[in-house]
Amino acid sequence: MASLGGNIISVDLDFIKAFAGFSAIVIGSLLVSKFIPRQKSNSKKPLNAVTPFLLFFYSCFIKPHRGNKKGTQQDALESFYEKQASAYDATRKILLQGREDMLALVAAQLKTRGKSHSKGAESGRVWVDVGGGTGWNIEAMSALVDIPKFFSAVYLVDFSPSLCHVARQRFQRLGWNNVHVVCKDARKFRLENDGADLVTMSYSLSMIPDYYSVIDSFASLLAPNGVIGVVDFYVQSNADFTFRSYTGGFVGRHVNWFLRTFWRAWFDLDRVGLEASRRDYLEYRFGTVIDANMRNYSLGGIPYYIWVGCHKLPFPSPTPTDPEDIINKIDAVATESSDLSPNRQAPASTHTGMRPRFNGFLVGVQNLSANLPLPAFFYQNHPWRMYYDDQLPKHTQFKDQYIYAFTWEDSRVDQDLLHIGPNDVILAITSAGDNILSYAAQSPARIHAVDLNPAQNHLLELKMAAYTALPYVDFWKLFGEGKHPDFRRLLLTKLSPHLSSRSFQFWLDRVDIFSTTKNSHGLYNTGGSRHAIRLFRWISWAFGCRAEVHKFLAAKTIVEQREIWTNQIRPTLLSTFLCNLVVSQESFLWTALGVPKNQLAMIEADYSSANSIAPGNNKKNTRSNAIWKYMVDTLDPVAYQTHVGVDNPYYYVCMAGSFSSRCHPHYLSEPVHAELSRPGALDNLCIHTDHVDEVIARMERESLTVAVIMDSMDWFDPNATAATVQVTRLNRVLKMGGRVLLRSAAKTPWYIGTFEAYGFSPECIAARAGGACIDRVNMYSSCWICTKVEHLV
């Protein structure tokens, strides 16, 4: 059964919901069918509130769906729509979900791309709505753009005379003279100008028998820089698409066997085809810009998708471009190569005879040779996110969830240590992206953000999109307060053109994160680290010191803050009982704090060494005592030496759930927003979803000046070769004098010797001693800079 749909219980529940919804509609239609009023579709008499739904039930579930005498597709359509044409819009609001979302996505794309470059600047945009029916889509679009001004011409193409009649009445009422209703077979519709900037289909592709020719016709109908928007029903198995590299993403796309069979049988009654080939052919003929897989839970969870695409070739750019040039240019950015030739010889040290390529290069070349679209990453409006295969176990291990909602690294200290300049090329671990954006504000030549967890990079992408598309007030609500009452609308209308398809689907599925409702926790109570933050809040509530936490954050002086900490918060938070019961548990350390077992071993080793405890001697007590001592050495100096409410955003956000106007990370300041919201300000940022050592292995020799690897090497096994591999690769990719900035939970991490052995000169910049903070975070025992002093052979 698992091969048919996974978990049997979830399959049964979904099936029951669908069957219940279907049964209710059928039974309702049978009960009301005899009360159907006999009213012509062109009647001017207004319909009462009940009549549209009676017509809908009758037409969909009672009246046979067949033509009258001619036996044509148009005749069949009329037999279905003639009775319900005047009631069509009133009955489709619940059934045809996603139409407004699709329109918002394509309108945002058009605004971002500008007018088609194949036309003169004075020419307007052209929109063709295929299967546009009553014109509901076009009127709905007016909530997003001014139809008469934004479009020079809009063509509604539909094969049903009854629906076209309603559409003409609609546009006559609205007074839109630029909208033209064409009652014609979509396969035969052509434009005399340079093509349409926008082509849309809303729940019409599934109703066209000869859909291949209609989709083919879009290739000549669409302007070179135009976009296509489709929303429709579908059912599909993961066996159909698992090995495709050119889709927008797989999240939510699979429909289990029971529901595939059920929905196809139901919709087949009305000649609505849900076979997978309709969507497949659309994705084959055009490049995917963005898509989303959704469910209409108002009617039993009907699957539907929203898809936005463009020509396979050329790319959405000011001038038509050879696709191989695009691939090579992206490869050059990702690998820091100055050469665009696909056959450039690799350095002698590589055994393949070809220089290393970024991980999307081979996929792109293979797709072109097979006449397939490129992966959706290549059709982005910004060259930020690099291709990755989200089905690989190294990515799926994170279960589509980020660990950190904010970065536990002090950006001010990083800035003082690194002195980033315009010639620096930086590689840094993404985490939540906060420090990446702080580096970007210093205008280096390029930044390579690297994280194995796709969700961490989704969070960075969202922040980059927000810089690009939102004013500071909205940017602050999202990432300062962690909540925004209008996030979903912003995601669709403002942010979507600046996100990769996978990132868009991720955030569309999680709009509730930013909800401002009473029960919403906000952005900074999400991710794996939320467990530690919520534990702290629960403890402060349970032990009656929640008010003292607020006083702590509002303290006017450090002296006042120290007193509150010492007398009212510390006895509870740093109790050995709490440490033994919860914090020192390995599962909590990993899921809540991101401390893996190898890093935990380093903490235990330092404690044992400092207290002369023999290895293996009462290990359980050693761990509890080591973690408790580590907590004390972390939190006491922070409370005693930093003014948390004024100048320590890392702990402020943990205690308050948001940042404040006077206490926030550097990237959230208004001057940084002004700097990074300039056009092209973030085009020097490249996001890789992979292991650090895999990314640097593909980079050109001596192309980096700075590598910021945080505490990532603490995760390595001292008995394995991973540290040696990464250090030697860092030596190869860094220029002479290039620096590696790292932090560690150990005072002298074991791999410092590896850096010394492979061409680096390590220097301990700061270490915990005498109760002093090494920075405002103070989460680590030491901070190091390893400078490259010699080349390896």
**What are 743's strand-pairing partners?**
783
CB 224 within 8 A of CB 115: no
Residue numbers in the chain where pLDDT is lower than 70: 1-92, 115-123, 314-322, 338-354, 580-584, 586-594, 614-620, 793
Please give the single-letter amino acid code of residue 131. Answer: G
Q: Is residue 403 part of a domain?
A: no
Q: Which of 379, 411, 427 is the last residue of a domain?
A: 379
Q: Is residue 217 part of a domain?
A: yes
Looking up residue 165, the CATH number of its domain turns out to be 3.40.50.150
Q: Please check whether residues 267 and 158 belong to one and the same domain.
A: yes
Q: Is residue 77 part of a domain?
A: no
Q: Please check whether residues 208 and 232 belong to one and the same domain.
A: yes
Q: Please check whether residues 273 and 237 belong to one and the same domain.
A: yes
| Model pLDDT, residue 359 | 84
Contacts of 521 (CB under 8 A, 6+ apart): 530, 657
Q: Please check whether residues 226 and 350 belong to one and the same domain.
A: no
| Model pLDDT, residue 79 | 55
Q: Please check whether residues 361 and 301 belong to one and the same domain.
A: no
Q: Please check whether residues 306 and 335 belong to one and the same domain.
A: no
Classify residue 31 as exposed, middle or buried by CB count within 10 Å of its CB (0-12, 13-18, 19+): exposed
| Model pLDDT, residue 543 | 76
Q: Please check whether residues 139 and 240 belong to one and the same domain.
A: yes
The string over 342-358, giving b where at least 16 C-beta atoms fall within 10 Å of a residue's C-beta and e elsewhere, is: eeeeeeeeeeeeebbbb
Q: Please check whether residues 183 and 304 belong to one and the same domain.
A: yes
Q: Is residue 738 part of a domain?
A: no
The string over 480-513, giving b where at least 16 C-beta atoms fall within 10 Å of a residue's C-beta and e elsewhere, is: bbbbbeebbebbbbbbbbbbbbbbbbbbbebeeb
Q: Please check whether residues 172 and 199 belong to one and the same domain.
A: yes
CA 735 to CA 142: how far, in whole Å? 55
CA 487 to CA 508: how far, in whole Å? 10
HEC profile for 358-398?
CCCHHHHHHHHHCCCCCCHHHHCCCCCECCCCCCCHHHHCC
| Model pLDDT, residue 27 | 45
pTM of the predicted structure, to 2 decimals: 0.87
Q: Is 344 helix (H, G, I), strand (E, B) or coil?
A: coil
Q: Please check whether residues 129 and 262 belong to one and the same domain.
A: yes
Contacts of 128 (CB under 8 A, 6+ apart): 154, 155, 157, 189, 191, 196, 198, 199, 200, 221
Q: Is residue 716 part of a domain?
A: no
CA dist 590 to 595, 596, 637, 663, 702, Å? 5, 5, 24, 28, 35
CA 722 to CA 730: how far, in whole Å? 12
Please report where in the chains the tokens 């690897």 appear, as a residue: 709
Please give the single-letter amino acid code of residue 399. Answer: K
Provide the angle, in degrees to the nearest 10, between the axes of the packed helices 501-508 and 454-469: 90
Q: Is 763 helix (H, G, I), strand (E, B) or coil?
A: strand
Q: Please check whether residues 348 and 251 belong to one and the same domain.
A: no
Q: Please check whether residues 643 and 552 belong to one and the same domain.
A: yes
Q: Which of 311, 335, 357 is the last residue of a domain?
A: 311
CB 599 within 8 A of CB 745: yes
How many structural domains is the chain composed of?
A: 3
Please give the single-letter amino acid code of residue 634. Answer: T
> How far from each other are the two terminal CA atoms of the chain, in whole angstroms?
56
Q: Is residue 197 part of a domain?
A: yes
- Residue 434: which region, alpha, beta or left (left: phi > 0; alpha: psi -120 to 50)? alpha
Q: Is residue 589 part of a domain?
A: yes
Strands (E), 221-348: 222-233, 286-296, 302-311
CA 197 to CA 69: how far, in whole Å? 39
Question: Cis omega (within 30 of 0) on the bond before 314?
Answer: yes
Q: Is 737 helix (H, G, I), strand (E, B) or coil?
A: strand
Q: Is residue 34 part of a domain?
A: no
Strand order in the sheet with 196-202: 179-183, 151-158, 125-130, 196-202, 222-233, 302-311, 286-296
Provide the angle, in degrees to the nearest 10, between the axes of the packed helices 161-174 and 73-81: 60
CA 378 to CA 247: how far, in whole Å? 11
Q: Which of 629, 656, 683 is the last residue of a domain?
A: 656
Strand order in the sheet with 425-429: 685-688, 446-450, 425-429, 704-710, 734-744, 782-788, 760-767
Please report how many Cα atoms fall inside a 13 Å half-sphere around the Cα of residue 594, on the Cβ side. Answer: 23
- Count CB atoms within 10 A of the CB of residue 598: 17
Query: What pLDDT digit, counting tens, does each position of 159-193 carry?
Result: 888 899 999 999 999 999 999 999 999 999 999 87
HEC profile for 424-444?
CEEEEECCCCHHHHHHHCCCC
Domain of 608, in residue numbers: 538-656
Query: What pLDDT digit, counting tens, does each position of 468-527 carry?
Result: 999 999 999 999 999 999 999 999 999 999 999 999 999 999 999 999 887 788 999 998
